[in-house]
Amino acid sequence: MRLLFVKSRWLFPLLVIILGASYVFLFHSYEDKVKANLTSQVQKSEEAYPVSGPLTVEVHLQRNFLDGERNVDVVYETIWSMEDFWAMYEDWQLVDQNLERVIFEQQINDISPLSKGKGYFGLTENGILTIFNGRPAQENVIQSFYQIDMSKLESNLIEQLELGIPVQSKQNYKAVLNEYKQYSIN
């Protein structure tokens, strides 16, 4: 009987240790499975909602000048933030947009660089006051304005227009238009 009592005295603590170790092992194993399952779900949700990153668009910048000339620059912009993108072009008027292209327009209160550099006022064969790209004899029209009554025009003014009056500045542009407006056919 004594042997049984000794065996049973060691048996209960041994059972407690074994059961405790089994509980710890099973609990940690379950916890690892839960963590693995959550990680798998997070990865699946990332696959379901991918982050596409920045958007690159073709941006057309149209500048419209007083002399009728239009310059268009095309740039490619990488958009990281729409707020920053719109702020960058706040001085421009939106004309059109889609996912690949955005068109902005700006009215420039000046004559175009083309007219400043190579523009000449002259007359077409029909007597229409026109700005030419180069001398009037080259007949490369930039912009036409109004028909001149040649019978009212003085000979020195006709000669100036035949040779071409250079368009050098906005002020010169407006002065020539105003000077010849009195000779226009209404």
Q: What is the pLDDT of residue 11?
A: 53
Measured distance CA(46)–CA(40) in Å, rounded: 10
Which residues, 6 or more positions from 145, have their beta carbon under 8 angstroms from its beta carbon? 128, 129, 130, 177
Is the whole model's pTM more than 0.85, yes or no? no
Low-confidence ranges of the chain (pLDDT < 70): 1-52, 186
CA triplet 57, 61, 67: central angle to 5 degrees? Answer: 165
**How many angstroms from the chain centroid is the CA of residue 100?**
10
Could you report the per-residue pLDDT of 97-138, keeping only the tens digit for each?
888 899 999 999 998 888 888 888 888 888 888 888 888 877
Q: What is the pLDDT of residue 20?
A: 56
Q: What is the pLDDT of residue 27?
A: 46
Contact between residue 156 and residue 179 where contact means Cβ atoms under 8 Å apart: no
Measured distance CA(142)–CA(121) in Å, rounded: 10
Q: What is the pLDDT of residue 61?
A: 95
Which tokens belong to 95?
A: 């004309």
Q: What is the pLDDT of residue 13?
A: 58
Q: What is the pLDDT of residue 49?
A: 41
Phi/psi at 14 (5° precision): -65, -40
C-alpha distances (whole Å) from 173 to each of 47, 65, 129, 147 are: 62, 12, 12, 17
Q: What is the pLDDT of residue 45?
A: 41
